[in-house]
Structure formats: structure tokens, C-alpha cells
Structure 1
Amino acid sequence: MRTLSVLTAATLLLGACATPPAGPDAPPAAADGNDCAVIAAVAKEHYRFNDTDNRPLPIRFEGDYAPRCDWSRYGLAFEPWDPDRPGDPRERLRWVSFARPTYDGRGAVIETGIMHGPLAGMGYECRVISGFAGWTVPEGSCRNTWVS
């Protein structure tokens, strides 16, 4: 009987440590937390954004997707993209975009794009993996999906 209760307690403890499921049944706050880390990994490792010599472009999201992220937690300082921003219209064409990541047993896949100005942009699909160092973008794991 004692062995059974010890096994039951161990099973419950291991279950409590399990990562919550990603996908439509995942709570939004947990999904946003992972989404923010995935986006930050792509921003820092693929685009090489930082707060000193390669500042991030204004950020936009695809469709009705809009995660709530504390970018400073990741060492980033994104400004929201404003399509109605006053000033030089070419500046409104400068942005980096992210779609909602999808998660699977190997990590996450995220679609992203960057526009540096008129007819100067590229889109990518990036594989991001989770490990001891957090979310990372392995070398060569972003493939081009569009060019402007």
C-alpha cells in the first residue's frame, strides 16, 4: 500500500512539472509567454536586433494576433508599427512582422518578414527549438518564403 501511495505521489509530482500543452487548448497567458520568447529568439538570433548598434524596426503582427510581451525582458526595445505615422512615407514601410508560432514535438515554427523600405524586404519561415538555453534559432533553420 505504501509503495502504491509513493508511486501515486511521484506520478502527480511529475505531472505537475509537465509543460502545458500548446495549441488551441493552451491558456492564452502561457501561449503568449512562449510566443514572446520564440519571437525574441528570431529577433535576436536571425535578425541580430539589439539595443545598441542594430535597433529593432517597428514590430507588427499578422491578422488579429497580438501577443502581450515585455520586450525589455529579452533585451529588445520594439516600437509598434503605425501605418498612419506622420512624416516620410518610406519610414512607414520599415517594419518586422511575426505570425503566431505553431508548436510541435521539435519546437516551434514561425513565419516572419522584414521590410527595410519600398521593394526591399524578405520573408522567412524559421524553426525555433527549446532547450536549456531557452528558445534558440539553429544556424540555417530559416528559409526564405518571399522577396520584395
Structure 2
Amino acid sequence: MRPVLALIAAALLTGCATPMEPAPGVPQTAQNGDDCAVIAAVAKEHYRFNTTDNRPPPIRFESDYAPRCDWSRYGLAFEAWDPDATGDPRQRVRWVSFARPVYDGGGALVATGIMHGPLAGMGYECRVISGFAGWTVPEGSCRNTWVS
């Protein structure tokens, strides 16, 4: 009986460890959606954004990074940040930003920042881990990187 259980366990572990190959011409992050899930975890668990009482400011991404995410899938409703928007110039200074997550053996690190207005913002680097519940931000895993 034990050899049979060992074979079953080995087969399950081997099957779980087999990486999925991305489709030709599709970046891996777009294929598996991890970037969107990592960013959503930080948005919901660190910033506590939701669609009712704590709506997020406009979202922007660092450099040429711009994932295409279905935010509603994660219970979020972001609008794109427009630096050239007309109206109150203080509104152009309101945003939340995310850099491309960096994956390692401990999960992912993502740089993020939020500006509430002129000279009113903070930046963080958050550790996000993957588990049975999906991507999560453990308590105390975001450290400050800048303050304005």
C-alpha cells in the first residue's frame, strides 16, 4: 500500500511542478495573469481599495509596463491616469502606481506608490506570496521606500 501512495504522491507533485508554456507570441505575464493578480492583491489588501467605499485613484504604471487586466474580476474599478486631463490640476497629482512585479522563490516583489495630492504621497515595496487562496499580501510585508 505504501509504494502505491508514494507513486501517487510523486505523480501529483510532478504534475503540479510542471510549468505551463506560454502560447507563441504571448508574454508569460499576459498568459498566466500573475501580474494582474499580484497588483490586485496589493490594491485590495495593502491599500484596501474596493468598488464601494474606498474607490482607488487613477492607476498608472511605471516605464513602458502596461498590463491589460480585467480589474472587475478582482473586485476593483480602476480608471487610467491622464497626466494631461483638463480641470483642477491637483486632480492630475492623484494616482496609484505599480511597477512590473519581480518573481522569485518567495513569491513576488512589487514597487508601488500612491499620491493623494501635491506633496502627499508614499511609496512601498510589497512582498506578495502565492498560496491556496491565490496571491496575498502578508501583514507587515510592505515597507516604505519614499515619502513626499
Q: Same fold (TM over 0.5)?
A: yes
Alignment of 1:91-130 (within 5 A): 91-130=91-130
How many matched pairs? Answer: 136
Write the deviation string for residues 16-37 of structure 1: whole angstroms up to 9, x where unpaired.
Answer: 762448xxxx624235x00000
Shift of 1:14: 3.3
- How far apart, CA to CA, are the structure 2 residues paired with 1:76 and 1:19? 29
Structure 2 match to 1:4: none
TM-score (norm 1): 0.84
- Runs of at least 4 residues off by over 3 Å: 13-17
* Cα contact 2:29–2:35 (8 A) shared by 1: no
Cα distance change of structure 1 residues 125 and 16 upon mapping to structure 2, 3 Å threshold: closer
What CA RMSD, in Å, does the superposition of the two structures yield over aligned residues? 2.3
Q: Which amino acid aligns with 2:48?
A: R
Q: What SS is found at the alignment partner of 1:45?
A: helix
Report the CA distance between 1:15 and its aligned residue: 4.5
Residue 69 of structure 2 aligns to which amino acid in structure 1? C
Q: Structure 2-normalised TM-score?
A: 0.84
Question: Which segments of 5 or more consecutive residues in structure 2 lack a partner in the other structure?
Answer: 1-6, 22-26
Query: How many Å separate the matches in 2 of 1:124 and 1:78?
Result: 19
Name the structure 1 match of 2:147. Answer: 147
Going from structure 1 to structure 2, the CA distance change for 1:16 and 1:57 (only over 3 Å counts) comes to same
